[in-house]
Every structure is written in C-alpha cells, then in structure tokens.
Homo-oligomer: A and B are copies of this chain.
Amino acid sequence: MLGIEAARVIIAEALKAGAGMKPLSVVVLDAGGHVIAFERSDGASPGRFDIARAKAYGAVMLGMGGKAQMARAESQAYFMAALSSVYEGKILPVPGGVLVRDGDGGILGAVGVTGDTSDNDAEAALAGIAAAGFRGEA
C-alpha cells in the first residue's frame, strides 16, 4: 500500500539520493492523482510544488512515466500540447514523473521530482521508490 509511511520513505530517500544535486522538491501522489505528501528543500524556487505535481499527475492520469511522455511530445508535439489543455495544464511531459508500481505491475501512484536536470530528478525519484520497496517506471 502506498500510504503516508511509504510516502515519507520515498521523499526522504529521494532527497538523500539528490544530496549532491540542486535543491529538490518531491511529491507523492496516490492512484487517483491526489497528493499524499510533499517536501520542498530550502533554496528551491517557490513554484516547485506545481512542477513536481504536474510531472507525477501526468504519469498517473496517462499511465505513462515522464520519459515515455517526453518521447511522445518529441514525436508529436501538438498532441501533448493539446493534452496539456485537456488536463487543464496539470501535466508536464518530462522525466521526473515516475510511476509507482507494486509487484504485480499495478499502479499505486506516482512520484514527481524537480530541481535538477530532468534525468537527475528521475534518478532521485527511482531511488526513493526502490527504498520503499516498490518498482518505479521513469
């Protein structure tokens, strides 16, 4: 189950994995795309919550990690642009939005990390998800 205990582990471990990176912000969403927990490191810019949530929200709503979303955006830009409007601007198709799957592959939610490069953001999210005993799909 992806509850508050697991969310705390994911955030703490993602921040630890990102210790050498720029200040990270990390959100954990449930399987419906709703916020369970969030932390913004000191020194991060104030708007980081919206970025973190959008990365994770798109992953949940589409059932696709940020890397797959980015590939689609690069091959069919107008599609992801229109999709952004369909979801009222609440998605962000880049790495750092990572699906959280259980052992059977079921989607439990998603993690969104922002602050460093998108690829580093995704690495930090994966580290947090693994530490909590789940499988991440970046």
Contact = CB atoms under 8 A, between A and B. Distances in A.
Nearest to A92: B82
**Main SS of chain A's interface residues?**
mixed
Count identical subunits in the complex: 4
A30 B46 contact: yes
B35 A37 contact: no
A45 B74 contact: no
A85 B89 contact: yes
Contact of A32 (B41, B46, B83, B93): B46
Interface in A48-105: 49-51, 54, 60-64, 73-74, 76-94
Given A5-B42, A35-B49, A82-B89, 6 more contacts: A7-B39, A31-B31, A35-B38, A50-B87, A51-B86, A88-B89
